[in-house]
């Protein structure tokens, strides 16, 4: 396989796209072909099936690494699989089909997510070279250094501030523009930052925050506003502890559009009868909003809040591009990368594990809510 | 990637229009009872202010990217009428800047070379799995599906370093498993993005694929179609719009990604986001380059977003975002 990738990397990038996508689709086509003929009766189909059963595993192992023993093992497994398949509950070929559909995804997930998660967790308890077990030393190091404690606190500030403000802004906006003329265009304007990369957004906001010495022309819009109001230009990214909040503004700017789109659709799902009933009861606009609309869109609110919370926990690009963690603005994901770059694999893994632990309760809450919803239905 | 549950909402933009049109008509009949609060001038004003606030940053970047270097460095973009001057030089210079191995123009091409396969491959694999989860019966199906869904809780930070070791040394826990292919082109970025996309993509596509009426599938089975044919002749065409939504997401996500690129795309295969981040670090005050560079990186996702917005929103409403 490495020979193939080596050859591929000598091509022109555009040609490379065509070749890899083409080969990949051909492989998928082949899988589908075998899936299709798997349950058919007749000697010829049996032979094709037998060949596929044995050849598949052998080929995979050959591509990965040419181990003779492994190939023999695979061939034996393939044969076994073939005979199992003939006696399967749902008739000949059913197991084969199932494997054809599921194997690519399951194998990739196992290799790429399940095993690495275990590895990282183990790594978190090892020293920087990954060969000696050091117990909780990495975690102790994190929670005894003031700079690192600050990183954890910063991450928590991100999770507390970003989701709440973007949800409120998105909800207000969605409600304001609901059924107004030109709603579509209003939506596009606020939704557009969603398409912009975090790196691009960071550059946009660095430009907004740029500072020049007092007395000279400002080129950063925000500092110009401060100057217009008679203030002193402010180096937004260097004033602790507020600089973290100025970074959070970027995420809010991006995520408000997301909140707005989801909540706007939810608001449209609130039954008109309920709104009218509230109207007849003589409620004012605010009461109607709080007592009818907000309860009506509760599930959507939860989705928006959880999604943005998880995004803020994992925020990396913004911090990396705006400050690279300088002036006490670092967060877990950024520090994990920094430690990895300085060959501190153990500490890097420990940061990743803390991140994982912080994400966990949000997702569990989410799952519980999902289950409740299902039960109501 | 994030774990998100589905929202039961009207999905189509058209459907929404239809609904709001219906609602508007109903409102008129009711003498605008419901409508009054919505067209209040205060709400409109507030909406306008938010819209302007949200647009100013991008607008300022766009204007600045066309201004000559000296003007950007000394005057604000809002003084563009007093300090008149336009140029395209920033773009041509930005396209040439970069590091010793790569310039911005090359990185732009790299972004395509990374993004297109990293969109096609995970979606095909996920669609196969989604079909099996939706329309095949086997023991432990639900458990396996929940397990796949639950994998979304793994932050990709947990998987980066072991995966890098696997690609560059071919080892898992120090045991050789595959042939190392670390330094050859885009391969490891494609595979990494494919893996990280799978849990969410399988979940989303499963939602769409399982919505196809059972009768349609059963009718096909009675006619003698196998799983392969059903997949190819029924599932693929019927779920095309859904596939498009998911594909746009994946495309934008991969195009805009920085973390995976920093770890897996080294040297001359780096995408544009990585080069831009590098440039902000090393030439943070060269605004004529940064604004133009940022706009070059923005233009593809913006075009995709604006032209395919309908699908994008549908994908969002199906219960997804990656963060």
Measured between beta carbons, the chain A residues lying within 8 angstroms of B128 are 28, 31, 100-102, 104-105
**B222: CB partners within 8 A, 6+ apart:** none
Question: In which band, very low, low, confident or very high, does the pLDDT at A66 lie, cut at 50, 70 and 90?
Answer: low
More confident residue, B107 or A90: B107
Based on the domain organization, do A117 and A249 belong to the same domain?
no
B69 inside domain: no
More confident residue, B96 or B5: B96
Query: Which SS3 state, helix, strand or coil, does residue A160 take?
Result: helix
Question: In which band, very low, low, confident or very high, does the pLDDT at A187 lie, cut at 50, 70 and 90?
Answer: confident
- Backbone dihedral region of B244: left (phi > 0), alpha (psi from -120 to 50 degrees) or beta? alpha
What average pLDDT does this structure show over B219-242? 88
**B195: CB partners within 8 A, 6+ apart:** A108, A109, A111, A112, A113, B122, B159, B163
Q: What percent of chain A has pLDDT over 70?
A: 95
Q: In whole angstroms, what is the distance from residue B210 CA to residue B204 CA? A: 10
Nearest to A177 among B47, B56, B109 (CB): B47
Based on the domain organization, do A213 and A150 belong to the same domain?
yes
Residue A106: predicted pLDDT: 92
CATH number of the domain within which B314 lies: 1.10.3720.10
Query: Which domain-ending residue is among A129, A150, A172?
Result: A129
Q: In whole angstroms, what is the distance from residue B295 CA to residue A166 CA? A: 25
Based on the domain organization, do A13 and A89 belong to the same domain?
yes
Please report, for residues A196, A252, A261, the alpha-carbon distance to residue A311 in angstroms, rounded to integers and kept in the order given.
Answer: 15, 11, 17
CATH number of the domain within which A305 lies: 1.10.3720.10
Do A186 and B47 make contact, defined as CB atoms within 8 angstroms? yes
The encoded tokens of residue A264 equal: 């706007």
Query: Which domain-ending residue is among A97, A129, A161?
Result: A129
Query: Which domain-ending residue is among A129, A155, A178?
Result: A129
Q: Is the pLDDT of residue B322 over 50?
A: no
Query: Which SS3 state, helix, strand or coil, does residue B67 take?
Result: coil
Q: What is the mean pLDDT of chain A?
A: 85
Q: Is the pLDDT of residue A171 over 90?
A: yes
- Residue to substitute from A197, A226, A316, A355, interface B, most B β-carbons within 10 A: A197
A134 inside domain: no
Q: In whole angstroms, what is the distance from residue A292 CA to residue B143 CA? A: 38
Based on the domain organization, do A189 and A249 belong to the same domain?
yes
Based on the domain organization, do A312 and A367 belong to the same domain?
yes
Residue B128: predicted pLDDT: 94
Q: In whole angstroms, what is the distance from residue A363 CA to residue A229 CA? A: 45
A147 inside domain: yes
Do A120 and B159 make contact, defined as CB atoms within 8 angstroms? yes
Residue B127: predicted pLDDT: 95
Q: What are phi and psi of B98, to 5 degrees?
A: 165, -155
Do A203 and B61 make contact, defined as CB atoms within 8 angstroms? yes
Question: In which band, very low, low, confident or very high, does the pLDDT at B323 lie, cut at 50, 70 and 90?
Answer: very low
Nearest to B256 among A198, A352, A363 (CB): A198
Based on the domain organization, do A60 and A193 belong to the same domain?
no
A172-176, A181-185, B29-33, B316-320 — which one is most confidently predicted on average? A172-176
What average pLDDT does this structure show over A2-30? 87
Widest Cα–Cα separation across chain A: 90
Q: Is the pLDDT of residue B124 over 60?
A: yes
Neighbour-count burial for B97-115, b at 16+ CB within 10 Å, e otherwise: bbeeebebbbbbbbbbbbb
DSSP state of A63: H
Residue B244: domain span: 87-319
Q: In whole angstroms, what is the distance from residue B303 CA to residue B56 CA? A: 19
Per-residue model confidence as pLDDT tens digits over B251-283: 999 999 999 999 998 888 899 999 999 888 888
Residue A9: domain span: 1-129
Helices B104-135 and B187-209 sit at what angle, rounded to 10 degrees? 40
Nearest to A13 among B110, B281, B306 (CB): B110
B207 inside domain: yes
Q: In whole angstroms, what is the distance from residue A143 CA to residue A272 CA? A: 53
Please report, for residues A247, B67, B191, B275, B290, the alpha-carbon distance to residue A200 in angstroms, rounded to integers and kept in the order given.
Answer: 14, 18, 25, 11, 9
Based on the domain organization, do A182 and A231 belong to the same domain?
yes
B43 inside domain: no
B13 inside domain: no
Neighbour-count burial for B2-13, b at 16+ CB within 10 Å, e otherwise: bbbbbbebbbeb
Measured between beta carbons, the chain B residues lying within 8 angstroms of A121 are 158
Q: Is the pLDDT of residue A339 over 80?
A: yes
- Please choose, from the candidates B24, B19, B37, B31, the residue with its C-alpha nearest in 3D space to the C-alpha of residue A268: B19
Q: In whole angstroms, what is the distance from residue A335 CA to residue A152 CA? A: 10
What average pLDDT does this structure show over A121-149? 87
Q: Is the pLDDT of residue B318 over 70?
A: no
B7 inside domain: no
- Please choose, from the candidates A369, A374, A359, the residue with its C-alpha nearest in 3D space to the C-alpha of residue A300: A369
CA distance A6 to chain B (A): 5
Based on the domain organization, do A40 and A152 belong to the same domain?
no
Question: In which band, very low, low, confident or very high, does the pLDDT at A156 lie, cut at 50, 70 and 90?
Answer: very high
A135 inside domain: no
Q: For residue B20, count other CB atoms closer than 10 A to its CB.
A: 16
Based on the domain organization, do A71 and A184 belong to the same domain?
no
The ipTM assigned to this model is 0.87
Query: Which SS3 state, helix, strand or coil, does residue A230 take?
Result: coil
Q: In whole angstroms, what is the distance from residue B248 CA to residue A76 CA? A: 42
Q: What percent of chain B has pLDDT over 70?
A: 86
Per-residue model confidence as pLDDT tens digits over B292-315: 999 999 999 999 888 888 888 877
More confident residue, B42 or A126: A126
Based on the domain organization, do A47 and A104 belong to the same domain?
yes
Q: Is the pLDDT of residue A57 over 80?
A: no
A90 inside domain: yes
Nearest to A321 among B40, B157, B277 (CB): B277
Q: Is the pLDDT of residue B221 over 60?
A: yes
B72 inside domain: no
Based on the domain organization, do A155 and A75 belong to the same domain?
no
Measured between beta carbons, the chain A residues lying within 8 angstroms of B247 are none
Q: In whole angstroms, what is the distance from residue A46 CA to residue A37 CA? A: 9
Measured between beta carbons, the chain B residues lying within 8 angstroms of A196 are 58, 256, 298, 301-302
Strand spans (E) along chain B: 171-172, 175-176
The encoded tokens of residue A155 equal: 């991450």
Q: What are phi and psi of B67, to 5 degrees?
A: -95, 150
B4 inside domain: no
How many helices (H) and strands (E) chain B has is answered by 17, 2
Query: What is the sign of the dihedral through the CA atoms of A250, A329, A314 and A170?
Result: negative
Based on the domain organization, do A98 and A177 belong to the same domain?
no
Q: Is the pLDDT of residue A293 over 70?
A: yes
B118 inside domain: yes
Q: In whole angstroms, what is the distance from residue B244 CA to residue A236 CA? A: 41
Helices B240-256 and B104-135 sit at what angle, rounded to 10 degrees? 140
Question: In which band, very low, low, confident or very high, does the pLDDT at B130 lie, cut at 50, 70 and 90?
Answer: very high
Residue B122: predicted pLDDT: 95
Q: In whole angstroms, what is the distance from residue B9 CA to residue B319 CA? A: 10
Provide the domain count of chain A.
2
- Residue to substitute from B17, B30, B70, B132, interface A, most A β-carbons within 10 A: B132
Lowest mean pLDDT among B67-81, B118-132, B166-180, B232-246: B166-180
Residue A351: predicted pLDDT: 92
Query: Which SS3 state, helix, strand or coil, does residue B175 take?
Result: strand
The encoded tokens of residue A25 equal: 């689709």
Tell me how long chain B is: 323
Provide the domain count of chain B.
1
């Amino acid at each position: 396989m490495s020979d193939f990738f080596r050859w591929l990397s000598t091509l022109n990038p555009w040609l490379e796209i065509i070749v890899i996508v083409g080969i990949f689709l051909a492989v998928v086509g082949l899988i589908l072909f075998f899936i299709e003929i798997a349950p058919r009766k007749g000697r010829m189909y049996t032979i094709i099936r037998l060949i596929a059963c044995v050849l598949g595993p052998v080929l995979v192992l050959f591509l990965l690494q040419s181990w003779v023993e492994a190939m023999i093992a695979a061939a034996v497994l393939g044969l076994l699989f073939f005979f199992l398949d003939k006696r399967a509950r749902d008739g000949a070929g059913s197991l084969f089909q199932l494997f054809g559909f599921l194997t690519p995804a399951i194998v990739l997930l196992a290799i790429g997510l399940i095993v690495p998660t275990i590895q990282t967790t183990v790594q978190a308890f090892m020293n920087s070279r990954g060969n000696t077990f050091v117990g909780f030393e990495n975690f102790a190091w994190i929670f005894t250094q003031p700079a690192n404690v600050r990183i954890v606190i910063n991450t928590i500030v991100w999770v507390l501030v970003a989701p709440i403000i973007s949800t409120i802004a998105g909800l207000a906006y969605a409600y304001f523009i609901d059924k107004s003329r030109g709603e579509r265009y209003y939506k596009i304007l606020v939704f557009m930052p969603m398409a912009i990369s975090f790196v691009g957004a960071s550059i946009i906001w660095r430009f907004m925050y740029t500072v020049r010495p007092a007395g000279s022309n400002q080129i950063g819009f925000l500092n110009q506003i401060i100057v217009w109001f008679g203030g002193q230009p402010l180096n937004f990214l260097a004033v602790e502890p507020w600089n973290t909040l100025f970074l959070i503004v970027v995420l809010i700017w991006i995520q408000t559009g997301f909140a707005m789109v989801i909540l706007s659709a939810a608001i449209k799902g609130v039954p008109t009868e309920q709104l009218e009933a509230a109207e007849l009861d003589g409620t004012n606009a605010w009461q109607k909003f709080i007592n009818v609309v907000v309860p009506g869109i509760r599930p959507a609110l939860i989705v928006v809040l959880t999604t943005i919370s998880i995004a803020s926990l994992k925020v990396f690009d913004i911090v990396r591009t705006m400050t690279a963690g300088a002036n006490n603005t670092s967060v877990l994901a950024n520090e994990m990368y920094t430690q990895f770059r300085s060959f501190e694999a153990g500490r890097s893994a420990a940061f990743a594990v803390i991140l994982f632990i912080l994400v966990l309760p949000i997702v569990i809450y989410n799952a519980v809510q999902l289950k409740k919803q299902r039960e109501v239905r | 990637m994030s774990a998100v549950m589905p929202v039961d909402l009207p999905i189509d933009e058209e459907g929404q229009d239809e609904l709001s049109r219906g609602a508007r008509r109903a409102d008129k009949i009711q003498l605008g009872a419901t409508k009054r609060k919505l067209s209040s001038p205060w709400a409109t004003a507030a909406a306008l202010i938010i819209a302007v606030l949200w647009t100013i940053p991008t607008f300022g970047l766009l204007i600045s990217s066309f201004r000559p270097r000296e003007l950007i460095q000394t005057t604000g973009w809002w003084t563009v009428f007093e300090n008149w001057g336009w140029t395209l030089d920033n773009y041509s210079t930005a396209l040439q800047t970069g590091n010793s191995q790569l310039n911005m123009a090359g990185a732009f091409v790299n972004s395509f070379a990374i993004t297109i396969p990293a969109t096609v491959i995970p979606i095909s694999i996920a669609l196969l799995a989604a079909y099996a989860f939706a329309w095949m019966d086997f023991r432990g199906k639900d458990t396996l599906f929940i397990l796949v869904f639950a994998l979304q809780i793994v932050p990709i930070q947990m998987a980066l370093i072991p995966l890098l070791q696997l690609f560059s040394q071919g080892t898992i826990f120090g045991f050789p498993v595959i042939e190392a292919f670390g330094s050859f082109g885009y391969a490891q970025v494609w595979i990494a993005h494919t893996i990280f996309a799978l849990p969410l993509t399988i979940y989303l596509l499963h939602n769409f694929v399982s919505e196809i009426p059972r009768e349609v599938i059963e009718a096909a089975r009675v006619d003698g179609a196998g799983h392969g044919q059903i997949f190819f002749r029924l599932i693929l065409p019927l779920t095309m719009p859904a596939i498009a939504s998911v594909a746009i997401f994946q495309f934008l996500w991969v195009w805009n990604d920085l973390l995976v690129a920093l770890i897996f795309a080294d040297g001359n295969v780096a995408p544009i986001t990585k080069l831009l981040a590098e440039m902000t670090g090393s030439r943070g005050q060269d605004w004529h380059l940064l604004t133009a560079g940022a706009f070059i990186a923005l233009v593809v996702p913006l075009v995709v977003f604006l032209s395919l917005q309908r699908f994008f929103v549908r994908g969002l409403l199906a219960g997804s975002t990656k963060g």
